[in-house]
C-alpha cells in the first residue's frame, strides 16, 4: 500500500510502514509542510493493527539535515509557536505510537534531524553516517529533544560537548557510545533494518505496546521541559544573532557572532556607567535629592 504526499513517501509492506523524507535537494531538511506530513503518515499506522513497526529514513543518502533555514528564517517570537507546535506534534506522535519507531540513518543526521532520530525507539545506522547538534554554529537551540535525551543516552559531559562544541560522531561511534543501537556498512543498512523489522513482526504486539509505555515512563516526565525549551527557543527565532548564523550557513561563510558580544558589552558598560554616576533616576528625582 502507498499513500501520496508531497514532502515524504509512505508505504506499508510486509507489516512494516516505511516513511521516507523526500527532499534530497536540501539533504532532507524539513519545513512546516514536511512536519505535517510526517505526523499524518505516522499517525495513520494506528488505523492498521497489522503494522508492527514504522521505519523513518531520508532519501538521497541523507537522513535529515534538520530544519530548512529558508523556513526557519521566517520565524520570530510572534509566530514561532507554529513551528514549535509542529515539532512537538511529530515528537509526541512517534513516542506515543503503540509500535516501535526505527530510525534508519545514513549520511547527515544533524540539528533537528538528530532530534527526529532521538524521538525514535531504535536507531540502525550506516557506519559512516554523521550524528550531531549544530545549533551553536547556526544560532538555534536544540531544545525539542536534544537537551532532554542526549544526556540520558550518552551522559551529561558528552551531551554538553555535543551541544556546546557541535561535536559529531560517526554512525559506528554512535553505536559504541549508545546513541544508536546497531551500525553496519552503508550497503547493508536496509537489509539489516529489514531483518530487525522481521524480528519485531514475529513478536507480541501487545507486549511491545505495553512495554513501550512502561519504558517511556521516566522520560515522559520530561515533557514539561519541552514546553519550557520551546519558549526559550521562541526568544531566539528572528533575532539578529539567529539570522546571522543561518545566513552565514546559506552563504557558506563563517558567522560573526563576536559582534553581538561586543554590542552587549557596550550596552552593559552604558548601563553600569549610568548606575555609577547616579543617572538611573529621573531628573526631577535627582534634583530633589541633590
pLDDT, tens only, 140-198: 888 888 999 999 999 999 999 999 999 999 999 999 999 999 999 999 999 999 999 99
Unique residue bearing C-alpha cell 494506528 = 46
- Cα gap 107→24, rounded to integer Å: 11
Q: Which three cell numbers stand for residue 91?
A: 515528537
Spatial distance between the Cα atoms of 123 and 204, rounded to a whole number of angstroms? 20
Place of cell 559506528: 172
* C-alpha separations of 151 from 160, 216, 230 in Å: 8, 15, 18
DSSP bridge partners of 170 = 130
* pTM (predicted TM-score): 0.91
Average pLDDT over residues 35-40: 98
Of the ranges 75-79, 199-203, 265-269, which one carries the lowest mean pLDDT score? 75-79
CA dist list (Å): 78 to 66, 117, 201, 259: 22, 28, 45, 25
* pLDDT over 90 at 236, yes or no: no
For residue 1, pLDDT over 50 is answered with no
Amino acid at each position: 500500500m502507498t499513500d501520496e504526499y508531497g514532502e515524504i513517501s509512505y508505504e506499508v509492506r510486509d507489516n512494516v510502514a516505511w516513511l521516507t523524507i523526500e527532499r534530497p535537494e536540501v539533504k532532507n531538511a524539513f519545513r512546516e509542510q514536511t512536519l505535517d506530513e510526517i505526523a499524518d503518515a505516522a499517525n495513520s499506522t494506528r488505523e492498521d493493527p497489522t503494522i508492527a513497526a514504522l521505519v523513518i529514513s531520508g532519501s538521497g543518502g541523507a537522513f535529515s539535515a534538520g530544519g530548512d533555514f529558508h523556513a526557519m528564517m521566517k520565524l520570530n517570537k510572534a509566530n514561532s509557536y507554529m513551528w514549535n507546535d509542529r515539532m512537538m506534534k511529530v515528537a509526541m506522535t512517534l513516542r506515543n505510537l503503540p509500535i516501535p519507531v526505527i530510525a534508519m540513518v545514513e549520511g547527515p543526521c544533524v540539528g533537528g534531524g538528530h532530534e527526529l532520530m532521538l524521538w525514535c525507539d531504535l536507531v540502525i545506522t550506516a557506519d559512516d553516517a554523521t550524528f550531531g547538534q549544530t545549533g551553536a554554529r547556526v544560532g538555534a537551540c536544540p531544545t525539542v529533544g536534544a537537551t532532554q535525551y542526549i544526556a540520558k543516552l550518552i551522559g551529561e559531559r558528552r551531551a554538553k560537548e555535543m551541544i556546546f562544541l557541535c561535536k559529531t560522531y560517526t554512525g559506528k561511534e554512535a553505536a559504541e557510545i549508545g546513541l544508536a543501537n546497531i551500525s553496519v556498512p552503508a550497503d547493508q543498512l536496509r537489509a539489516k533494518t529489514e531483518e530487525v523489522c522481521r524480528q519485531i513482526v514475529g513478536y507480541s504486539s501487545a507486549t511491545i505496546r505495553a512495554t513501550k509505555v512502561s519504558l517511556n515512563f521516566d522520560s515522559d516526565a520530561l515533557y514539561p521541559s519541552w514546553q519550557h525549551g520551546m519558549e526559550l527557543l521562541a526568544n531566539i527565532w528572528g533575532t539578529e544573532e539567529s539570522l546571522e548564523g543561518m545566513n552565514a550557513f546559506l552563504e557558506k561563510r563563517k558567522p560573526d557572532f563576536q559582534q553581538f558580544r561586543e554590542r552587549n558589552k557596550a550596552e552593559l558598560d552604558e548601563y553600569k556607567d549610568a548606575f555609577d554616576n547616579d543617572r538611573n533616576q529621573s531628573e526631577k528625582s535627582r534634583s530633589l535629592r541633590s
